[in-house]
Copies of this chain bind each other. A is one copy, B any other.
């Protein structure tokens, strides 16, 4: 086949995709339909398929609509666990694939840490650095969220120990004992303080700071690290300011107690890691005051402050980073990201960058082809004013949830959110699952979190009219439950 022929259908396809948009859900079968069930059975011979919802036709999916292999078209408020930034098959991303100058970036994945491509400094400047958190001009890409957090933790450990050592080089004993996993007098163990309900990933370092669900943790060896309570606030936040402030004080006191206690135990807290909104753990919010105080506690005790924005980052709260809502010039020492940013990685303050090469290192150190997509996603966010859209859609979504909560007080409670990063609690786990399945059969994809919450994680292109399509269907589902 000549290249010319090969490319003809491609040109046609691109044109069609750019002209096309769906006007609502369209359901042909209940979900999973027969074709999904058949494929699930097939995949079951290769992998555990207990978590598979259904199989997708990504070619036919567009914008906010995910199409499955049985021809069902669903409004997607979960977006691949919150990892699709600007919807499916965005024309800007398809166009990027047609640029011949980008081909080599996909075909030749470099070992970025030793042999970066010529355009790497420019690409990273126009993409990641253009959204660097306040006070941070350094960024390290990684392949995924867990790798990002693992390496962020390592940066904090290295920083902490360098700070302790001062100008002294590591002792010979340090060097020999670390090779056999042992601590010694001059190199005590270190720890990371995390919060109950948090989720920071599932590799073993991350998992030691993850405390959201038993199924993640059972049977896996872990570290004896301090775990503080995360505020359990009452919603709407503005109606319970006094109670919530008390709850936050209680948690902050506990944080300080734990830092002291672990130092006495000989396992000083090198860093504190926290999500701006606990996501997987049930969409638990805390006030800007809480985070400002936490940041101060970290500074006071000489611990690094790591804000994990893997799920909250990328614009979904109405600001590019959720921590921007805290209004701080110096919000963190490390901010990690992944999901909607398409590449994993973390920003860091200058002093957190390890002093020597190869201390933070792996073969790929990220993937430049993901940086290409991210640069284009950032262009689209800017060009289409998507942060404003998110704020507008989020207000409509939360307003709708409040109204439904008023209408169905026995089913819904604790509606909460920032931007479109919203959630609502359901009376019990069984009802939640039933609501989610019924909504799906009516063409709306939702995700759960915590014990009995539904989390809303639409893409940044989720407009006000999509909110109303969702609310209508959600309302129908609730009416039928009653």
- Please report A residues at the B interface, Cβ cutoff 8 Å: 3-4, 6-7, 9-11, 13-15, 35, 39, 42-43, 45-59, 61, 66, 69, 80-81, 83-84, 88-90, 93-95, 97-101, 103-111, 113-118, 120-121, 124-125, 129, 137-140, 143-147, 150-151, 153-154, 157-158, 160-162, 170, 174-175, 178-182, 187, 189-191, 196, 201-205, 208, 211, 213-225, 227, 338-339, 342, 353-354, 356-364, 369, 373
| Contact A89 to B107, CB < 8 A, known contacts A100-B13, A170-B218, A221-B190 | yes
Number of copies: 2
Instruction: Please name all residues of chain B whose beta carbon is closer than 8 Å to the beta carbon of A151 when the two chains form the complex.
Output: 202-203
Nearest B residue to A164 via CB reads: B219
| Contact A219 to B51, CB < 8 A, known contacts A58-B110, A108-B84, A181-B225 | no
| Contact A203 to B58, CB < 8 A, known contacts A94-B103, A221-B190, A224-B181 | no
Instruction: Please name all residues of chain B whose beta carbon is closer than 8 Å to the beta carbon of A224 when the two chains form the complex.
Output: 181-182
| Contact A80 to B170, CB < 8 A, known contacts A58-B110, A144-B147, A190-B219 | no
The 5 closest A-B pairs by CB, nearest first: A50-B357, A204-B205, A10-B100, A51-B357, A181-B222
A-B contact pairs, 30 of them (CB 8 A): A10-B98, A39-B120, A48-B357, A50-B358, A57-B118, A58-B105, A58-B110, A61-B104, A80-B115, A83-B363, A90-B107, A93-B107, A106-B106, A106-B369, A143-B147, A147-B147, A147-B203, A151-B202, A157-B221, A158-B219, A178-B214, A178-B217, A181-B217, A181-B224, A181-B227, A182-B224, A202-B361, A205-B205, A215-B359, A216-B359
| Contact A219 to B179, CB < 8 A, known contacts A103-B13, A116-B43 | no
- Whether B363 contacts A215 by the Cβ 8 Å rule is no
Q: Which one of B59, B80, B208 lies within 8 Å of A363 (CB-CB)?
A: B80
Instruction: Please name all residues of chain B whose beta carbon is closer than 8 Å to the beta carbon of A227 when the two chains form the complex.
Output: 180-181
Q: In whole angstroms, what is the CA distance A80 to B115 when docked?
A: 7
Instruction: Please name all residues of chain B whose beta carbon is closer than 8 Å to the beta carbon of A100 when the two chains form the complex.
Output: 7, 9-10, 13-14
Q: In whole angstroms, what is the CA distance A150 to B206 when docked?
A: 11
- Whether B121 contacts A69 by the Cβ 8 Å rule is no
- Whether B114 contacts A59 by the Cβ 8 Å rule is no
Q: A52-B116, A80-B110, A93-B107 are in contact. List 10 more A-B contacts (CB 8 A).
A: A42-B121, A46-B137, A58-B108, A66-B115, A81-B114, A146-B150, A154-B204, A157-B221, A162-B219, A181-B217
Q: Which one of B160, B201, B361 lies within 8 Å of A51 (CB-CB)?
A: B361
Q: Which one of B47, B146, B154, B187 lies within 8 Å of A138 (CB-CB)?
A: B47
